[in-house]
Amino acid sequence: MSAAKSQTRDDKRRILASLPPETKRVQVIGTDGRQHYKRPEDVDVDTDQIALGADGKPVIMRGRPGRKPKVHLQPVSSGVQEVVEARDEHVASSPLLGAAKVNPEGEEVLNEIIAAMAEEAAAVEFERLEAERHGTPTSNISAKRARILKGMADTYLKRRDKGEGGVDMDSPAFEAVMGFMFETIQGVMKDSGMRKEHIETVFAKLSKVLDDSWKAEAQARMKK
């Protein structure tokens, strides 16, 4: 890209007048020597030099600058439109979605998850009963329900452990607290005159100790 050094004001006006009608921005070189994109009507014919490509044509942007706008496809029929509207209404009224938006780490989210799992388990149970009634295989349906019930049990036990004085050691909040604690300890070690390599050795060994077995032991001690 280049700018013709001999561009006069009349040259610039002629170039701007010849721009394609869909032009949104044109590249110019300002007095600071840097390249900028400006709307054609904002180009200063006294100070700006219009950048030209290898073909001698001005460098332009035909689309809107930045990210392309998201394309919203219209439903192909009125029937599909009704389904889309019903889906949007259902999603907007979801208790689980509402709880997650208000407080993603709140207790209400777990309540809604358990309730949603219970509803799904009941629906799958109905599918299994209908399959039995029609004499069709039920093993896949039973396996699906078993997975849902296991997820419910895991969620319930996690909440119970937390309620009994335990701490969710995989939560972002706990990780943030641990990170702050390590920063504090590291600062104290530095203030005590410990050498940098010694501090790094200590934290390297500490990171190896803080594994799943350490978490299990910590949980056990919190319950005592």
pLDDT in tens, 86-112: 888 888 888 888 888 888 777 788 888
C-alpha 135/C-alpha 138 separation (Å) is 9
DSSP 59: P
C-alpha 172/C-alpha 103 separation (Å) is 14
Task: Look at residue 163 in the predicted model and tell me its pLDDT.
Answer: 57
Task: Look at residue 146 in the predicted model and tell me its pLDDT.
Answer: 92
pTM attached to this predicted model: 0.40
Q: What's at 169, amino acid-wise?
A: M
C-alpha 114/C-alpha 154 separation (Å) is 10
**Residue 224 binned pLDDT confidence (cut-offs 50, 70, 90):** low
Q: Is 36 in a helix, a strand, or coil? A: strand
Looking at 159-163, 171-175, 202-206, which range is the least confident one?
A: 159-163
Task: Look at residue 170 in the predicted model and tell me its pLDDT.
Answer: 73
Task: Look at residue 72 in the predicted model and tell me its pLDDT.
Answer: 66
Q: What is the rounded average pLDDT of the residues 25-49?
A: 88
Angstrom CA distances, 53 to 3, 41, 59, 102, stand at 8, 20, 6, 52
196 or 63, higher pLDDT: 196
Looking at 88-97, 141-150, 198-207, which range is the least confident one?
A: 88-97
Residue 114 CA neighbour count, 13 Å, CB half:
14
Q: What is the rounded average pLDDT of the residues 174-188?
A: 84
Per cent of the chain over pLDDT 90 is: 17
**Residue 81 binned pLDDT confidence (cut-offs 50, 70, 90):** confident
Q: Are 72 and 48 in contact (CB under 8 A)?
A: no
Q: Are 117 and 148 in contact (CB under 8 A)?
A: yes
Q: Are 47 and 30 in contact (CB under 8 A)?
A: yes
Q: What is the rounded average pLDDT of the residues 12-20?
A: 91
Task: Look at residue 102 in the predicted model and tell me its pLDDT.
Answer: 81
**Residue 167 binned pLDDT confidence (cut-offs 50, 70, 90):** low
The H-or-E segment that residue 26 falls in is strand 25-29
Looking at 62-76, 153-167, 207-221, which range is the least confident one?
A: 62-76
